[in-house]
Amino acid sequence: MAARYDLATDPGLQEGLLQARRGTAFFARKLNELTDAELDGGSLLPGWTRRHVVAHVGYNARAIARLVEWAATGVETPMYPSLEVRDHEIDFGATLSPIALRNLFDHSAVHLSVEWRDLPDRDWANEVKTIQGRTVPATETVWMRTREVWIHAVDLGNGASFADIPEPVLERLLRDITGAWAARGTDAGLLISVTGADLVFGDTGAADPTVITGPLPAVVEWATGRGTGGVTAARGADVLPEVPAAPKWI
């Protein structure tokens, strides 16, 4: 019999699961505020309507659930057969009727939540592989989903902003993104400083860095490539007339 509560007992993991479910509830709220006709409207992502965003978030839950099933059974089930299949699925999902699209989001979210709930402590360290080819423990699936639901709730473009995202999620996002830049060496000469917090990321050894400064939500919005509102760029004492685009993240 399935348990009615999470089997995971690690407090950090429980906190992570809470953050993922909160983000899912937030996405659901923003989605439910939209009329069926409004689903046809543009999202904040170039080339994607809101339908694409909803389809992507729904299929993403299914893909992450496959990883949790993999961790539970040891039977290898990848997120997607390939990137092409993933993209095809999103394009197809975007053509679903509004009710089917909403059901896709709801059912896939519940299914993933149940897979997490029923994963016992001993299986959370089991390794699975992401679509990018990274080998990660099953615990990572919680964070993978967390960042998807929070960021794409903003991408729906009906009023959510990065300021709605909890601070621990924003901080981890910034750590992730700047870590990816550092691994690729694309952060050369770029320093990111969060106002009101003792947080500095990026190329901390640079001699004459371009410093991007702003409140945490604004800096993360910039780092994810979603706008430059609320951030400034400076080199030495000079404020730059334009904030440079952030390096690619994913």
Nearer CB in complex with Zn ion: 140/148: 148
Nearer CB in complex with Zn ion: 146/213: 146
Give the nearest distance from C-beta 184 to Zn ion in angstroms.
19
Q: Which residues contact 107 (CB under 8 A, 6 or more apart)?
A: none
Nearest to Zn ion by Cβ — which residue?
148
Q: Which residues contact 112 (CB under 8 A, 6 or more apart)?
A: 61, 62, 64, 65, 68, 145
Q: Is 150 helix (H, G, I), strand (E, B) or coil?
A: helix
Q: Which of residues 140-199 bind Zn ion (CB under 5 A)?
A: 148
CB 180 within 8 A of CB 246: no
Give the nearest distance from C-beta 56 to Zn ion in angstroms.
6
Give the nearest distance from C-beta 106 to Zn ion in angstroms.
18
Give the nearest distance from C-beta 58 to Zn ion in angstroms.
11
Helix axes 11-32, 98-117, angle to 10 degrees: 170
CB 2 within 8 A of CB 118: yes
CB 71 within 8 A of CB 128: yes
Q: Which residues contact 129 (CB under 8 A, 6 or more apart)?
A: 67, 76, 78, 135, 136
Nearer CB in complex with Zn ion: 148/203: 148
Q: Which residues contact 44 (CB under 8 A, 6 or more apart)?
A: 154, 155, 156, 157, 226
By rule CB under 5 A, what count of residues binds Zn ion?
A: 1
Q: Which of residues 21-60 bind Zn ion (CB under 5 A)?
A: none
Give the nearest distance from C-beta 53 to Zn ion in angstroms.
8
Give the nearest distance from C-beta 152 to Zn ion in angstroms.
6
Q: Which residues contact 208 (CB under 8 A, 6 or more apart)?
A: 189, 235, 236
Give the nearest distance from C-beta 87 to Zn ion in angstroms.
12
Nearer CB in complex with Zn ion: 123/148: 148
Nearer CB in complex with Zn ion: 48/124: 48
Nearer CB in complex with Zn ion: 42/120: 42
Q: Which of residues 110-139 bind Zn ion (CB under 5 A)?
A: none
Tokens of 138: 């099953």
Please report, for residues 16, 221, 250, the alpha-carbon distance to residue 44 in angstroms, rounded to integers and kept in the order given: 26, 12, 16
Pattern 88-107, binding to Zn ion, x per CB under 5 A?
Answer: --------------------
Nearer CB in complex with Zn ion: 212/220: 220
Residues that bind Zn ion (CB under 5 A): 148
